[in-house]
Structures are given as C-alpha cells and as structure tokens.
C-alpha cells in the first residue's frame, strides 16, 4: 500500500475526539490487541447485488438444462482458465477468470429479501440479536477503534444505504456506513456533505465565520461536554469540506481511457471510486448495485445490465492488479440470493426469475483469495447444491481471516452480552467450512 | 391465589396509606411543587446549586419539542412571547396535549419500543403495521389509562388486522415463550431478563406458553390466540414449566383460563409497573431517567432520587393511570423549567436534574423542523411489498408508522432500527457525518434555497401591471423573521448587526447572503439541540 497517498487526520483532531471519549460520550469500547492482526488483506470492496442476481445468467451457466432454464443465454463462454465457463454476457470477466474464484454452492435456503440480506451480509443465522454486517465488523476491527486515522470514514457505501436491515446491528450508529448519496457518473459527483456545487471555498470560509459569530447560545455553554463534542464533529466535518480528502471522489483527474473502460454508468464510476477509496486507505467500501430483483422483463434487463456489470467489475480487478492493490484488496461480489433457475414464462412474469436461496453463486478475488478456481458445484439445473455447500458464515469468516480479524473475538454489545464475530456449530449452524481451498 | 387477584388493589391501598401519612397532593400545581422539593432536597444534600428558571422563549421551544416533537411556527412563537397571561406556561402545556402532533410524536416513541416494523426481524407486514400504529395513536388521542393500554397489549386475541394489539405478540424476532417473556419484562417492567436467573425468566415465560398463531385465507392475516392444548416444556426436564410471577409468587394455572390474564392482573397492580412507566416519562422529558438506563430497573441500579420515583408512581396510581397527569406535573415543575445553562457549581451534575440537560433533536423531529422552516417535504417509500408504497409528501416524519421505511437522513441521525425495543437504540449523539450533512449537503442546501419568503423576498402587485414586482424586506425585518421561524425567538441587537453586516458587506448578493444566514441559524447548537 502506498502510505503516502493516505489522507490522514491531524493529530490535533484525534486528540480532540479522544477527549470527547473521556467526557463520557459515545466512543467505541476498547479493542483487544489480540482481536486483530495484520492480514493478507487490508481492504474489502463489496459489490452488493441488491435484489439477487441470477446465478445461471452470470457465473453458473446451465445450457444443457434447456431453454426453460437458460432462456436465450444458451451459449456460455470459455474463460482464460481451462474448464471454467461463465455467462455469455460477461466476455471481459471471462478474460480475467484467473484473478477470481467462483463459489457455485452458496446456500441458505431463504427466499425473502430482508432475511436473506441479513444472513448473507452478516454471516449469522436468523434469530436473537441483530448482528452487524461485514462492513460494520471490519469498521470495528480496522476502523477508528483500531487506530485508523483517515479523514475519510472507514466504511463507505456508494451511494445509498441498502436498507433491508440495520447494517451495524446492535453495535449501533458508530459503525454505520457513510452513504455518499449523489450520482457517481455525473460531471460532478456531489457526495452529500463533502462536495457542494456552486459554493466557493471563500464562501465556505465566510459561512464558517458567520456561524461562529451567531453561536450566541453555544458560546454561553462552551464547557458543556456535549457542545464540546459537537465542536469536534464540526471541525472534522470542515476538514473534509475544505481539505483535500474529498478530491478522492473526483474521477475527472483519472485517465479518460480508464474511465471509458470502467464504463460511464453509475456502477462503472462507483467501481473506479471504490478503487480510489481503497487506495486512500479506506478499509471497507460497499457498492450498493441496485436493480437485480428481476421478476419481470428479466432477459431484457440482463442484456444491458450484464454488460454494465462486466465492464465495471473486470476493469476494477484489472486496475487493482496493475496498481499492486489486488493482493491486499478483497473484491466480494454477490447478492442476497440467486434467482430461480427455472424461468417463469407465464403471466404476469412473462419470462422472469424469482428469488432463490437454495443455491446461488458468489465471487471472491484478491486479498489472499486465489483466482482461477471454482468452489463447490450446483446440480444440472442449478437448483440444488451438488457439492461442498458454502454458507454465508463460511464465506464471511474466510474474509475476516484474510483481514486478520479473529473470528472468535467479542463484538461490542450495548447490554454487554457475549457476542462473537462468527457463529460456530455451538450456535446451532451447519458449517460448510472456511474456503481453505482458495485461501493462500 | 387471593393475593394475586388483589395485586392492583394492594398497591392502590398502599398508595392510599402513604398518601394519608404524607398528605394528598391533589392539585397538579402542588404535585409539581413537591417534585421540586424532592429534587432540591437531593441537590441540597449534594451541595449542587440548581440553574435559574429558563426564559419564556427557551421554555416555548423546549416544551413544543419535548411534548409534540414539533417546532413552534413564527406566529406561535410571537404570540406566546407577547402574551402577558399569568399562567401562560401551564396553559400552553394543556393546549399542546390536544394537538394531533402530540399523538403522532408519542406513537412514534411507542412504536419504537414495540418494534413496529413490516419486515425483519419483526415481521408485522405493512397492513398490520398500519393497524397497530393506528391503535396506539388512538389510545394516545383518547388518553387511555395506561393499565388498560398494557392489559390490551398483553391479553388480546384475534386477527392482526382487526384486533391490532395482538401484534404485540408478533413484533418479536422469535415466537418462543422465552422471547415473549424477555420482551414483556423489558417493555412493562424495564427489566432485562439477561440479568435474571434462567429459572426466573423461564417461570415468567410459562405465562406465555399457550400463545399460539394461525393463518387465515386472507394474505398475511394471522390470528393470535390462547391455545389451551399447547404446552411449554422445560427443554432439559421435558416437564411443564411452573408459572411463577417475577415477585416469587407461584401460580396454579387453571387450564380454562388464559394465563396472560393472570399475569396482566398481577403486573398492572405491581409497583414495578408504575415505576417503569413514570421513570420512562421522566427520561423522555428530561433526557435522563431517575433510574438510568431507563429500561434497566434492578436492585443494584438504584434511582438517583428514590423518593421522587416513588412519588411519581403514586401520582400515577392515584390518578387512575392517567399518563397525561404525570407529563403535566413534570412539565409544570421548576425542575423541568430550569435553564440548561450551567452555573459555577453544577456543570458536572449529569444525574440530579440541577439543570435541563441539552440533547440533540431526534432524527424525525429534526427533519420535520427543517421541513417546516423551509416549507419543503421529504419523500418516503416502502419497498415492502412490491409494488412499492409511497408516503404522502406532506406527511411529517414523526408520523411514519413503519420502521422498515428507510431514509438516509433518518439513519444518519440515529433513528432506532426497532430491532430490540431498548431505549438506547435511538441514538441522539452528534457525529461528524451528521454535521457534514447539515453544513454542506445538497439535500439541505436545496431546502434552504426553496423558501423565498424566509429569505426575505416579497412580491407586490402593482397597479396596471400584470406581473407582481419582486422585492426584498428590510434586512432587519427579514432577520427577525428568520430568528422567529428557526430559533423561536427575536434576535438580539448584536445578532441583528452581525446579520445586517453580512448582507451588506459580505460580498454576496442579497439572495446568497440570505441563504447563508438561514444556513448559519440551522447550524447553530441552539437549533440542533433541545435546550
């Protein structure tokens, strides 16, 4: 990692926020040194396929199953790894199969968005407390509590929070992602709060002075700990508004050819920005990629959407590798479930696919995960796991291991209950086992 | 089981006896004075000097925000500040109870505690969310006695769409009696069963062992009912678990009787039932419980002022569980009406109520205030189920019924996810990301720019001309209106001078300078905090 390019918060502010902690306001509980060590991976880019993408049309094609399963996509393509075929709409990804591994035996059996999103992103079974998702856990073990001192928040989502469940679970607001808002592909990506069109730096400064001179009430209570904390928050905010950290969101400084390769879509721009964020030292970035809940017009949508995915995803992998970041960055692709292998031809679906949690695919690359491998297998129609089931906790636990996070470490719990990073068989879950076959 | 049936009677009798010895405090004014005496007596013991009483302008804004979660309008502020009526503070309190926002705001609070949410981990589904929210709101409009409210939630049977309070038993992550017992103890006793002996929690669960659920032909309808056949067995011994009340009284359950009713009879007559709710009300209004955390009542977490808690509970029982009475005696007290500005001796007091503790506005209240000031609206929609539901644009955020409706702003400002029912789920701690949003987001900037009137623009019709002529208010008048609208008070001379100077000499046009003034006032601590 190029530490020079990391944008660091000044020591003064760090001290200021530490003082707030002493004042009894919310600060993370101390992190045990043994809970996290240096791992192969330093960061994660999660491409969250909101709504659940079809596994048959992406990374687990089944042309032999016939038209009722593969529809018009009956000609999967060979990749640059012998014996691995993927969907025909992903030709660029096919050229890079050696840099990622496909898990074709993901399973949890849940077909409801909310519950499946929860299980897939937290790596926890349903029931009891609401646990934090992977981004929030990484934020705990690699973020401020672990000495992260970047100006940019340690957990960023492009562009909207995903909803469905509370991302930080019982750990609360401190570990929630910073949602950028805005439109990444716009000429100016107005990241909410960070980048404001049409207000010059001089005016920002004048405003700041104006505010200070109108803080009549606040100035009477300077010693109040809550107000001091608020002052600290405001200083931090201004470092982002007036400082250089926000420039990381500006893709205009990038090579136009590279931008072209990523694609000018919001997804393409998000992939490029995700790379820049990781380069700047942000440990967890989620690209919340909407639009995969295709009950109707499925194949029409896939025709355009897969091309967009192909460009952004493949260029991201290539770009990370060329910059020497892929070895330390995990790219994790997947949604809450797959889609029904059998096509629903009848009205009102007219060629749609429904939710399918029994068997689906996820993809991992980088950060110590080998490329060019397929883990597990589905059956001939993609409806059952045929070999080596992988549960969400197996995958997420493997991600944590690569990051050096102790999967048995305790999570901060508001009622002080004993909550651990990953579930074990003692929690009543069936284990498929960590992804040892692709972990180096 | 005689004692059982007399549970409520017992506490009521006790209250009457205590009242007899201490002298009945009939009038609300006297009760408020008694609260003050108890608080002052504690402060005296500790040698902490209380802050002075707050000014009318501070009281006005505070009581609006605390009681109806809504900012006063400029007109309301001006009228109150002008009034010379002797009882204008208590008159205002009485008037606010009748506002629809009172029921809206407290429904929001109750729906947080009852985990009202269409999907995950509670799965009420939208129709039931609507029914449940409406029921809670109507109870608040009617000022249903609190014991009846609790009893309805605990003992109802029927359809989730038609008998709304049955959703109490559906708004839980799991439906095992153990979970139900945990939720019941938390909600109505402020008790965390995690700290109880496992046996005690299980014995409480036995009262909910016959709750059962069944579907109907209607999509997502569900009947919650008492099922005499269902058994609740100890997982180890596989024997029926004995029903023992949290106070240790064993109960022989009659198979023909719904044990929930037996439990509810005991509960509403218990001291802990009253303590829990009056302590919560105190916490809601003053930002800190007499017992704190407010949902952690236990022997080794004593109240900071035991006589005060006892007195509030007695007042509740004596007034037939009328919650508005409890609100009223607190709001009319000097304790509630103290300034938040500390003196030399009470800055470090954070538990004895020697001053009003400032708190950041809650997420929904904050965005509603911003919308009211800027005459704008928010768009909310629900993804559950498809096709999506869109909430009417002009609806206030405090009226949102469903915790599953997502909003980046509300999430950022710590709206509770409604997963657990703990009070601490709502997080009003300021963060840098929140400040960033208020200082510099397109969302807020767009709102500020859209209320031309607030910026000071005027339009005048002119004779013989079709188009009205645009103009500007005198800067001092515009500034006064901004202060009344945003901070519910008049500006000081110094503030007016600063603002006028910014308009005249700031190097910006009138429009931009006005935008900046509104922006600055929205970013003051005076606006962001209740104080």
Return d(Cα B119, Cα B405) in angstroms, integer. Answer: 10
Q: Per the structure, how many domains does chain A have?
A: 1
Q: Which of B494, B53, B454, B13 minimizes the C-alpha distance to A215?
A: B494
Instruction: Measure CB to CB from residue A414 to each of B422, B440, B524 and give the nearest one.
Output: B422
Neighbours of A419 (CB within 10 A): 18
Mean pLDDT of A263-271: 97
Partner-chain contact A169 B431, CB within 8 Å: no
Instruction: Read off the CATH number of the domain in which A168 is found.
Output: 3.40.720
Q: What are phi and psi of B121, to 5 degrees?
A: -80, -25
- Please state the φ and ψ torsions of residue B435, each to the nearest 5 degrees: -65, -40
Judge: B525–A230 Cβ closer than 8 Å, yes or no.
yes
- Reported as a single tens digit per residue, the pLDDT across A417-438 is 999 999 999 999 999 999 999 9
Q: Which whole number is the average pLDDT over A334-362?
A: 96
Q: E-strand spans in B412-531? A: 457-460, 469-472, 529-530
Task: Quote the DSSP letter at residue B6.
Answer: T
Q: How far apart are CA A323 and CA A325, in angstroms?
A: 5
CB B350 within 8 A of CB B288: yes
Res A21: pLDDT: 34
**How sure is the predictor about B480, in pLDDT bands with cuts at 50, 70 and 90?**
very high
What residue in A sits closest to B358 (Cα-Cα)?
A226
> Quick one: pLDDT at residue B18?
54
Q: Per residue in B12-34, pLDDT tens?
A: 556 655 554 444 445 778 999 99
Distances (CA, A) of A236 to A174, A225, A281, B75, B125: 15, 17, 17, 37, 41
Average pLDDT, integer, range B170-187: 95
- Count Cβ neighbours within 10 Å for each residue of A201-239 and write b for 16 or more, e otherwise: eebeebbbebbebbbbbbebbeebbbbbbbbbbbbbbbb
End-to-end CA distance of chain B: 50
Confidence of residue B332 (pLDDT cuts 50, 70, 90): very high
State residue B531's pLDDT score.
Answer: 97
Per-residue pLDDT, B23: 45
Q: Residue A14 is encoded by which pair of tokens?
A: 């760090």
Give the minimum alpha-carbon distance from A143 to chain B in angstroms, rounded to a whole number.
15
Shortest Cα distance from A331 to chain B (angstroms)? 25
Confidence class of residue B385 from pLDDT cuts 50, 70 and 90? confident
C-beta neighbour count of B419 within 10 angstroms: 20
The CA distance from B100 to B141, in Å, is: 8
The predicted pLDDT at position A420 comes to 96
Determine the pLDDT at residue B255: 84
- The helix (H) or strand (E) run that includes residue B528 is helix B525-528
The verdict on a CB contact (< 8 Å) between A26 and B427 is yes
Task: Write out pLDDT tens, residues B461-473.
Answer: 778 778 888 899 9
Could you tell me which residue, B502 or A6, shows the higher pLDDT? B502
Q: Given this model, what pLDDT does residue A320 score?
A: 98
Interface test with B, best of A188, A192, A291 (most B CBs within 10 A): A192
Q: Mean of the pLDDT values across residues A26-47?
A: 85
CA atoms in the 13 A half-sphere facing the CB of A437: 14
What residues contact B134, with CB distance under 8 A and at least 6 apart?
A: B164, B401
Q: State the CB neighbour count (10 A cutoff) for residue B506.
A: 19
**Long-range interactions of A373-377: CB distance < 8 A, separation 24+:** A373/A101, A373/A102, A373/A437, A373/A438, A374/A84, A374/A101, A374/A102, A374/A103, A374/A104, A375/A101, A375/A102, A375/A103, A375/A104, A375/A105, A375/A435, A375/A437, A375/A438, A376/A103, A376/A104, A376/A105, A376/A106, A377/A104, A377/A105
Q: Exposed (0-12), middle (13-18) or buried (19+): which is B247, by Cβ within 10 Å?
A: exposed
pLDDT reported for residue A24: 34
Closest CA to A380 of A103, A45, A61, A123: A61
Residues of A in contact with B412 (CB under 8 A): 176, 179
Say whether A221 and B524 touch across the interface (CB within 8 A): no
pLDDT at B460: 81
| Distance (Å) of CA B171 to CA A436, B175, B193, B226 | 40, 9, 18, 17
Mean pLDDT of chain B: 93
Share of chain A above pLDDT 70, in %: 94
Output the pLDDT for position B15. 63
Distance separating alpha carbons of residues A236 and A386, to the nearest angstrom: 52
pLDDT higher than threshold 90 for residue B140 = yes
Q: Is a pLDDT exceeding 70 seen at residue A29?
A: yes
For residue A381, the distance in angstroms to the closest alpha carbon of chain B comes to 28
- Best mutation target, B421, B435, B521, B523, to test chain A (most A CBs within 10 A): B435
Does an H or E element contain B243, and which?
Answer: strand B243-244
In this predicted structure, what is the pLDDT of residue A3?
A: 38
Q: What is the ipTM of this complex?
A: 0.93
Nearest-angstrom CA–CA distance, B271 and B13: 12
Q: What is the pLDDT of residue B236?
A: 86
For an interface test with A, give the residue of B525, B526, B528 to mutate (most A CBs within 10 A): B525
Domain range summary for chain B, segments of one domain joined by +? 1-98+297-358, 434-530
DSSP state of B399: G
Q: What region, left, alpha or beta, does residue B161 occupy, with left being phi > 0 and alpha being psi -120 to 50 degrees?
A: alpha
Q: What is the pLDDT of residues A221-255, one digit of tens each?
A: 999 999 999 999 999 999 999 988 889 999 999 99
Of A262, A269, A232, A264, the residue nearest A248 (C-alpha)? A269
Q: In the prediction, which pLDDT does B166 show?
A: 98
| φ and ψ of A60, to 5 deg | -140, 65
Q: What is the pLDDT of residues A50-60, one digit of tens each?
A: 999 999 999 99
Q: A297, A295, A375, A301: which is closest to A340 by C-alpha?
A: A295
Check whether B370 has a pLDDT greater than 80: yes
Instruction: Give the phi and the psi of residue B530 in degrees, each rounded to 5.
Output: -85, 135
Distance of CA B174 to the CA centre of its chain: 26
- Give the model's pLDDT for residue B173: 87
Distance from CA of B141 to the nearest CA of A (A): 31
Contact B443 A192 (CB under 8 A): yes
pLDDT of B11: 64
* pLDDT for B17: 54
The predicted model gives A355-372 an average pLDDT of 98
For residue B216, is pLDDT > 80? yes
Predicted confidence band of residue A163 (pLDDT cuts 50, 70, 90) = confident
Average pLDDT over residues A176-200: 93
Choose among B419, B436, B441: nearest Cβ to A130.
B419
pTM: 0.93
Could you tell me the residue range of the domain that residue A320 belongs to? 3-438
List CB contacts (< 8 A) between B523 and chain A: 211
The size of the A-B interface in CB pairs under 8 A is 186
- Give the Cα separation of B283 and B280 in Å (integer): 5
């Amino acid at each position: 990692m190029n530490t020079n390019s990391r944008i660091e918060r000044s020591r003064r502010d760090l001290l200021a926020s530490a003082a707030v902690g002493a004042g009894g306001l919310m600060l993370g509980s101390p992190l045990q040194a043994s809970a996290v060590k240096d791992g192969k991976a330093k960061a994660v880019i999660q491409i969250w396929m909101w709504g659940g993408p079809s596994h048959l049309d992406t990374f687990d094609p089944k042309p032999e199953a016939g038209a009722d399963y593969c529809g018009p996509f009956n000609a999967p393509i060979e990749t640059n790894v012998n014996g691995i075929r993927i969907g025909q709409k992903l030709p660029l990804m096919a050229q890079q199969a050696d840099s990622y591994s496909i898990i074709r035996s993901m399973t949890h059996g849940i077909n409801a968005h909310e519950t499946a999103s929860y299980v897939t992103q937290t790596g926890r079974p349903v029931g009891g407390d609401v646990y934090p998702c992977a981004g929030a856990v990484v934020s705990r073990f690699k973020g401020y509590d672990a000495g992260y001192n970047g100006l940019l928040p340690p957990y960023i989502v492009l562009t909207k929070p995903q909803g469905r469940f509370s991302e930080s679970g019982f750990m609360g607001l401190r570990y929630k992602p910073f949602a950028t808002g805005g439109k990444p592909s716009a000429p100016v990506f107005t990241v909410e709060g960070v980048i404001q069109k049409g207000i010059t730096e001089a005016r920002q400064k004048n405003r700041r002075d104006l505010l200070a001179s109108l803080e009549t009430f606040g100035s009477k209570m300077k010693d109040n700990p809550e107000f001091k904390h608020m002052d600290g928050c405001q200083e931090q905010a201004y470092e982002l508004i007036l400082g250089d950290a926000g420039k990381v969101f500006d893709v205009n400084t990038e090579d136009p050819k590279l931008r072209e390769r990523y694609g000018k879509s919001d997804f393409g721009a998000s992939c490029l920005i995700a790379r820049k964020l990781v380069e700047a030292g942000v440990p967890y970035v989620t690209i919340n990629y909407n639009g995969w809940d295709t009950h109707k017009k499925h194949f029409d949508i896939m025709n355009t959407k897969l091309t967009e995915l192909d460009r952004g995803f493949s260029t991201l992998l290539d770009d990370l590798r060329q910059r020497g970041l892929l070895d330390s960055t995990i790219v994790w692709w997947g949604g809450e479930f797959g889609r029904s292998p059998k096509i629903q031809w009848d009205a009102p679906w007219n060629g749609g696919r429904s939710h399918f949690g029994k068997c689906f695919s996820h993809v991992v690359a980088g950060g110590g995960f080998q490329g060019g491998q397929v883990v597990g297998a589905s059956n001939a129609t993609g409806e059952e796991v045929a070999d080596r089931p992988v549960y969400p906790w197996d995958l997420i636990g493997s991600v944590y291991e690569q990051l050096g996070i102790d999967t048995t470490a305790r999570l901060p719990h508001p009622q002080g209950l004993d909550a651990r990073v990953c579930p074990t068989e003692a929690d009543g879950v069936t284990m498929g086992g960590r992804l040892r076959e692709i972990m180096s | 089981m005689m004692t059982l049936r007399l549970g409520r009677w017992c506490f009521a009798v006790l209250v009457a006896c205590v009242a007899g010895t201490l002298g009945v405090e009939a009038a609300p004014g006297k009760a408020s004075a008694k609260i003050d005496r108890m608080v002052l007596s504690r402060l005296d013991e500790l040698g902490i000097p209380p802050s002075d009483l707050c000014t009318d302008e501070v009281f006005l804004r505070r009581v609006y925000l605390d009681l109806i979660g809504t900012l006063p309008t400029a007109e309301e502020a001006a009228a109150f500040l002008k009034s010379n009526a002797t009882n204008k503070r208590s008159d205002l309190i009485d008037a606010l109870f009748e506002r629809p926002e009172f029921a809206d705001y407290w429904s929001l609070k109750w729906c947080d505690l009852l985990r009202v949410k269409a999907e995950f981990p509670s799965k009420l589904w939208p129709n039931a969310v609507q029914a449940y929210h409406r029921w809670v709101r109507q109870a608040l409009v009617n000022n249903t006695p609190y014991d009846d409210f609790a009893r309805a939630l605990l003992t109802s049977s029927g359809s989730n769409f038609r008998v709304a309070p049955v959703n109490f038993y559906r708004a839980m992550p799991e439906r095992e009696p153990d979970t139900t017992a945990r939720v019941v103890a938390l909600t109505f006793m402020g008790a965390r069963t995690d700290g109880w002996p496992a046996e005690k929690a299980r014995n409480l669960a036995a009262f909910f062992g016959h709750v059962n659920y069944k579907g109907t032909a209607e999509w997502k309808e569900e009947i919650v009912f008492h099922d005499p056949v269902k058994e609740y067995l100890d997982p180890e011994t596989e024997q029926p678990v004995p029903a023992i009340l949290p106070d240790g009284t064993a109960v022989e359950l009659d198979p023909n009787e719904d044990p929930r009713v037996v439990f509810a009879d005991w509960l509403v007559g218990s001291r802990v039932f009253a303590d829990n709710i009056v302590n919560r009300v105190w916490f809601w209004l003053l930002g800190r419980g007499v017992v704190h955390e407010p949902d952690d009542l236990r022997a080794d977490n004593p109240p900071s002022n035991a006589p005060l808690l006892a007195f509030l509970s007695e007042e509740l029982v004596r007034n037939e569980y009328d919650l508005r009475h409890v609100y009223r005696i607190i709001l009319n007290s000097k304790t509630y009406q103290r300034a938040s500005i500390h003196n030399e001796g009470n800055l470090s007091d954070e538990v004895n109520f020697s001053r009003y503790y400032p708190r950041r506005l809650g997420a929904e209240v904050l965005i509603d205030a911003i919308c009211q000031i800027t005459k704008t609206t928010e768009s909310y929609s629900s993804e559950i189920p498809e096709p999506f539901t869109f909430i009417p644009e002009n609806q206030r955020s405090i009226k949102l019924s469903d915790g599953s409706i997502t909003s980046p702003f509300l999430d950022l400002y710590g709206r509770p996810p409604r997963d657990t029912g703990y009070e601490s789920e709502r997080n009003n701690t300021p963060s840098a990301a929140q400040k960033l949003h208020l200082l510099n987001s397109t969302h807020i900037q767009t709102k500020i720019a859209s209320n031309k009137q607030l910026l000071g623009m005027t339009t005048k019709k002119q004779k013989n001309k079709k188009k009205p002529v645009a103009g500007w208010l005198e800067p001092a008048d515009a500034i006064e209106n901004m202060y009344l609208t945003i901070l519910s008070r008049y500006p000081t001379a110094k503030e007016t001078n600063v603002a006028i100077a910014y308009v005249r000499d700031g190097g910006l046009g009138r429009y931009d300078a006005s935008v900046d003034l509104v922006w600055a006032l929205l970013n003051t601590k005076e606006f962001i905090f209740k104080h």
